[in-house]
Structure 1
Amino acid sequence: MVVLTAGQVRAWDQFTIVHEPVSSIDLMERAAQRCVDWMEARKIIQQEQFYIFCGKGNNGGDGLVIARLLHEKNRPVDVFILEFGQLGTPDFQHNLQLLHNLPVNIHFLQPGIPLPVIPESVLIIDALIGTGMNKPVEGRMSELINHLNVSGNPIISIDLPSGLFTDESCIPADAIKASITLSFQCYKPALMLAENAAAFGAVHIIDIDLDPKYLNTIQTQFDLVDQQLASSISGIRNPFAHKGNFGHALLLAGSKGKMGAAILAAKAVLRSGAGLLSCLVPQQGISILQSSFPEAMVIVAGDEYLSGVLPCLDGYKTIGCGPGIGTNENTAALIDELITNYHQPMVLDADAINIISLHPEMLHKIPPFSIITPHPKEFERLVGSCPRESDRLKKAMELARKYQVIVVLKGHRSFIAMPGGKAWFNTSGNASMAKGGSGDVLTGILTGLLARGYSPEQSVLLGVFLHGLAGELASEEYGMESVLASDIIQNIGKAFIKLSLVNSVNHAS
């Protein structure tokens, strides 16, 4: 599924109107009917009382149609129209006239009059602005939005919570805090941002049958990584293959007191299907790693921290680097030597990113199409302060293009910026993964997939989804609060199985 900007969504509406063809008023009717159908299927329509708040644009027109359809189902509805002393859009005016012919209470919220008291039994439907916002709300609109928010009543927003910017973070502007958002046809960038989560609540995409041929006419900037995509990338293992067919990975990880990160990443490399793994660790970590994970081979560099001379890098299909290595200057020198002398795509995470942020000249040395996986603070150390989440996404895309690397901004909807300008939001994972060590597991998964021969783009799309899916499966077993990073590793195999089952169904059909 694509993620479209406000301009692209409006263009899709117009494309459908021209090519279906369908009138704009009938398209509005269709959208409202689908919203009512959705509420009816979930028994929300049995609500005791509906208050529908409308602006005078087409989002308000959607609200008027919903009011009429609810009335036809004998549901009690009051409509509140925010007055600005000007006519609404033609479709709004048409639906207002239809509503005037029915015994529905219509209230015009004139400037200066008190805003309505909202009883506890009321469900609010927000149809004030929708996707039409490009500047912060103010004045009477801001007053009304805050009035609805403090009421404590559940709110369903139509298409987008009023006040929310479609394409970016709205912080610190006022916006409706919806319990549910019924968004038409596709996700919008605002619905993928954690900063906006308090505004959009639970998101449900309502299919209003916009003409799918429109998507062939545009270049989408954002897309979603979902189970179908991940399944299409995940290949079937050759039954006659041997360990040499699945690559030999090198992992630089660990330091005194942080060998756990090395073990987590190492286990994830092999659980992801790599054939062989060598771990470069300091002397004090060798016994820990070999006793904890005998499947990995070990090479020593340094005593408490990684330092000294790199081993020969020939023969390694890829390299993962960063978990638990610290930022010691001798370690930094080793990382500089690594990215100077290894020319294949690699994975850089955690302290490898922190080292590069302290030595920004290293950015130019990173092999093209390498994958860097910062969390928000690590990313800001690289690129500077990002006051809003949408600023962070823009800088990630700039960094990916400038240095020809793949940037994975880790989070609930991990953001993947490709060197060619395309970006993806991941749809797997949940809050159970918000725990130390989860990022080390992702590093291992990505390293393992690169070692197996997946392209960097395939590795990151499959790997990020696989990581989240393994977390979901772990939470089913242990609960949201109790999942450990090692539980995610234990579920990588189950995640592969789930993807392979989807793949089998797709091939059969």
Structure 2
Amino acid sequence: MKIFPAASIKQLDAHTIENEPVASIDLMERASHALSGALSERWDSDTPFTVFAGPGNNGGDALAVSRLLAEKGYKLEVYLFNTKGSLSPDCATNKERLANVAGVDFHEVTTQFVPPVLTAEHVVVDGLFGSGLNKALAGGFAAVVKYINASPATVVSIDIPSGLMGEDNTYNVQSNIVRADLTLSLQLPKLAFLFAENEPFVGEWRLLDIGLSEEAMEEMETDFYLSEHEDMPGLLKPRTKFAHKGNFGRALLIAGSQGMAGASVLAARACLRSGVGLLTVHVPFCNNFIVQTSVPEAMTELDISDTCFASPADADDCQAVGIGPGLGRAAETETALLEQIESCHVPMVVDADALNLLGEKRSYIGRLPKGSVLTPHPKELERLVGKCQNSYERLMKARELAKTSGVHILLKGAYSVIIAPSGKCWFNITGNPGMATGGSGDVLTGVVLALLAQGYEAETAARLGAYVHGLAGDIAGKKQGMAGMTAGDVVNCLPLAWRMLEEK
């Protein structure tokens, strides 16, 4: 699914209106039917609704929704803010349509606003401003937003919470943004919905199909996508009847140090549970017995050091190398890492301490082999690109790093995002907060390593790896709840996750 900036969504509306063809007021009516249907599914007609409508088309949606709910027997208070005496044409039409509708207590605010009483039983419909907003709310509208936020009512925003911008909110005023419990987004999500700091404003979000032109959405370019369930099975390579382990690649995993053998075990188990043909784990002597007994399907190769990674491994017979989980940050480890990068000619998955060490030697990122994937969490990324004010800035800096260094970046989070050197970004939809536990990233490293070793392109390996990793976490969460999950539970659920994709 494509994610478009606000300007492109306006173009989609215009294309639909011109080419369906459909009048703009009728497209608004279509959207309002979808909105009122979603509201009536959740709340019955005994629920008191208070609607706040702005002077633009978002306000027009809110007025049309009010009329449609009233026709279903709902009782509503409606406030239309028209302080400048200028409504959009479709908003004005819906104001006329709402006149004298039974069950609606209508107020047009032109000067002073007398706030209604809002209780915990009320549902507030926020239709003040839509996705076209390009500056922070101020003055009277900011005061209305603060009043809504201070109330105990449940808040539902139409398309986007009023005051929130669709992409970049770096210079926004957070206290002047509606804090919605539910956002009913029209047709497509907004990029801002996928950023952690906007969750208090967006709340739960749901997409409503309003019939925008499929042709226009297909033709219009964007760099941002939301991966969908139906996209993933088609990315899998089929296994032929006469295939053998040599067909599924040999992977080398460089992981673990004294006291951190578990990271190498988790990454190795995940790699083997993701279809790799052969796996060798390069370990210091102190971890050899642990890995050999915990992961008997893997081979081990001893480092010259008893306690850490101190000597680069020979990767000539491998199709991919994974490095970083539990590696530690010893001086000899940094030297060995840089030598490993210089000598390696197959794609690498770089994670954890390997990323932290690269943060001090950033020039080596551009020396990584073609098709390599970095898998940082936000703090690890900032060690590579510098401090970021918010998720939007972090995403932009990650895109720049991917472009200039020629690497793929899998930036981990609630919506992990895969960033290609081309600048294209795919947001992942699987996973849950139960995966916020030590070792989850090591599991992801193992999954992506297995896919690269099997010959998947870096972009596909990162997208598929993130999706299956999150899906396994979702399966584990359903089995035993999120609070008690461990990274090992995610590994144990990988086979079922892969089977679900294979069976489509």
Using the size of structure 1 for normalisation, the TM-score is 0.96
Asked whether the 8 Å contact 1:169–1:193 carries over to 2, the reply is no
CA–CA distance in structure 1, aligned partners of residues 375 and 83 of structure 2: 48
Q: Please state if 1:307 is matched with 2:310.
A: yes
CA–CA distance in structure 2, aligned partners of residues 420 and 433 of structure 1: 29
CA–CA distance in structure 2, aligned partners of residues 489 and 274 of structure 1: 14
Asked whether the 8 Å contact 1:261–1:323 carries over to 2, the reply is yes
CA–CA distance in structure 2, aligned partners of residues 466 and 473 of structure 1: 10
Matches within 5 A, 1:286-325: 286-301=288-303, 302-308=305-311, 310-325=312-327
CA–CA distance in structure 2, aligned partners of residues 402 and 221 of structure 1: 17
CA–CA distance in structure 1, aligned partners of residues 115 and 45 of structure 2: 26
CA–CA distance in structure 2, aligned partners of residues 24 and 341 of structure 1: 61
Larger displacement relative to structure 2 (52-61 or 328-337):
328-337
Q: Secondary structure at the match of 1:155?
A: strand
Q: CA deviation at 1:216?
A: 2.9
CA–CA distance in structure 2, aligned partners of residues 83 and 216 of structure 1: 37
Residues 329-379 of structure 1, C-alpha deviations (whole Å, 9 max, x = no match): 111111111111112221000011001001122122111221000001101
Q: Which amino acid aligns with 2:247?
A: N
CA–CA distance in structure 2, aligned partners of residues 367 and 219 of structure 1: 29
Asked whether the 8 Å contact 1:161–1:177 carries over to 2, the reply is yes
Residues 300-345 of structure 1, C-alpha deviations (whole Å, 9 max, x = no match): 111211103x232211000000000011111111111111111222
Q: Which amino acid aligns with 1:231?
A: P
CA–CA distance in structure 2, aligned partners of residues 83 and 18 of structure 1: 29
Q: Please state if 1:146 is matched with 2:146.
A: yes
Pick aligned residue for 2:407 from 397, 405, 408 = 405
Asked whether the 8 Å contact 1:369–1:419 carries over to 2, the reply is no
In structure 1, the residue matched to 2:81 is 82
Q: Which amino acid aligns with 1:115?
A: P
Gapped runs of 5+ residues in structure 2? none
Asked whether the 8 Å contact 1:222–1:422 carries over to 2, the reply is yes
Question: After TM superposition, where is structure 1 displaced by more than 6 Å over at least 4 residues in a row?
Answer: none
Q: CA deviation at 1:222?
A: 0.6
Matches within 5 A, 1:84-103: 84-103=83-102
In structure 2, the residue matched to 1:357 is 359
Q: CA deviation at 1:254?
A: 0.3
Q: CA deviation at 1:49?
A: 1.3
Q: Secondary structure at the match of 2:80?
A: strand
Q: Please state if 1:17 is matched with 2:17.
A: yes
CA–CA distance in structure 1, aligned partners of residues 315 and 27 of structure 2: 61
Number of residues paired by the alignment? 500
In structure 1, the residue matched to 2:166 is 166
Q: Which amino acid aligns with 1:465?
A: Y
Asked whether the 8 Å contact 2:197–2:391 carries over to 1, the reply is yes
Pick aligned residue for 2:462 from 460, 463, 473 = 460
Asked whether the 8 Å contact 1:432–1:471 carries over to 2, the reply is yes
Q: CA deviation at 1:416?
A: 1.1
Q: CA deviation at 1:242?
A: 1.0
Asked whether the 8 Å contact 2:273–2:495 carries over to 1, the reply is yes
Matches within 5 A, 1:297-446: 297-301=299-303, 302-308=305-311, 310-446=312-448
Matches within 5 A, 1:459-498: 459-498=461-500
CA–CA distance in structure 1, aligned partners of residues 5 and 451 of structure 2: 32
CA–CA distance in structure 2, aligned partners of residues 385 and 401 of structure 1: 19
CA–CA distance in structure 1, aligned partners of residues 46 and 426 of structure 2: 38
Q: Secondary structure at the match of 2:79?
A: strand
CA–CA distance in structure 2, aligned partners of residues 484 and 469 of structure 1: 14
Q: Which amino acid aligns with 1:359?
A: K
Using the size of structure 2 for normalisation, the TM-score is 0.97
In structure 2, the residue matched to 1:200 is 202
CA–CA distance in structure 2, aligned partners of residues 100 and 352 of structure 1: 66
Change in 2 beyond 3 A, CA 1:323/1:47? farther
Q: Which amino acid aligns with 1:232?
A: G
Q: Secondary structure at the match of 2:108?
A: strand
Q: CA deviation at 1:111?
A: 4.3
Matches within 5 A, 1:101-120: 101-103=100-102, 104-120=104-120
Two-structure CA RMSD over aligned residues (Å): 1.3
Asked whether the 8 Å contact 1:226–1:465 carries over to 2, the reply is no
In structure 1, the residue matched to 2:4 is 4
Asked whether the 8 Å contact 1:36–1:45 carries over to 2, the reply is no
Larger displacement relative to structure 2 (313-322 or 362-371):
362-371
Q: CA deviation at 1:110?
A: 4.4
Residues 5-24 of structure 1, C-alpha deviations (whole Å, 9 max, x = no match): 11111110000000000010
Pick aligned residue for 2:244 from 242, 245, 262 = 242
Q: CA deviation at 1:194?
A: 1.4
Gapped runs of 5+ residues in structure 1? 503-509
Q: CA deviation at 1:487?
A: 0.5
Q: CA deviation at 1:228?
A: 1.2
Q: Secondary structure at the match of 2:21?
A: coil
Q: Secondary structure at the match of 1:489?
A: helix
CA–CA distance in structure 2, aligned partners of residues 110 and 248 of structure 1: 71
Q: CA deviation at 1:71?
A: 1.3
CA–CA distance in structure 2, aligned partners of residues 36 and 16 of structure 1: 21
CA–CA distance in structure 1, aligned partners of residues 334 and 7 of structure 2: 45
Residues 95-127 of structure 1, C-alpha deviations (whole Å, 9 max, x = no match): 111212434322233445442222333211000
CA–CA distance in structure 1, aligned partners of residues 160 and 46 of structure 2: 22
Q: Which amino acid aligns with 1:74?
A: G
Asked whether the 8 Å contact 1:348–1:371 carries over to 2, the reply is yes
In structure 2, the residue matched to 1:38 is 38
CA–CA distance in structure 1, aligned partners of residues 98 and 399 of structure 2: 47
Asked whether the 8 Å contact 2:45–2:73 carries over to 1, the reply is no
CA–CA distance in structure 2, aligned partners of residues 250 and 165 of structure 1: 45
Asked whether the 8 Å contact 1:286–1:298 carries over to 2, the reply is yes
Q: Which amino acid aligns with 2:58?
A: N
Q: Secondary structure at the match of 1:465?
A: helix
Change in 2 beyond 3 A, CA 1:184/1:413? same
In structure 2, the residue matched to 1:218 is 220
Asked whether the 8 Å contact 2:119–2:152 carries over to 1, the reply is no
Larger displacement relative to structure 2 (43-52 or 272-281):
43-52
Residues 480-509 of structure 1, C-alpha deviations (whole Å, 9 max, x = no match): 11111001000110001111121xxxxxxx
Asked whether the 8 Å contact 1:109–1:115 carries over to 2, the reply is no
Q: Which amino acid aligns with 1:14?
A: A
Q: Please state if 1:52 is matched with 2:51.
A: yes
Larger displacement relative to structure 2 (238-247 or 262-271):
238-247
Change in 2 beyond 3 A, CA 1:471/1:118? same
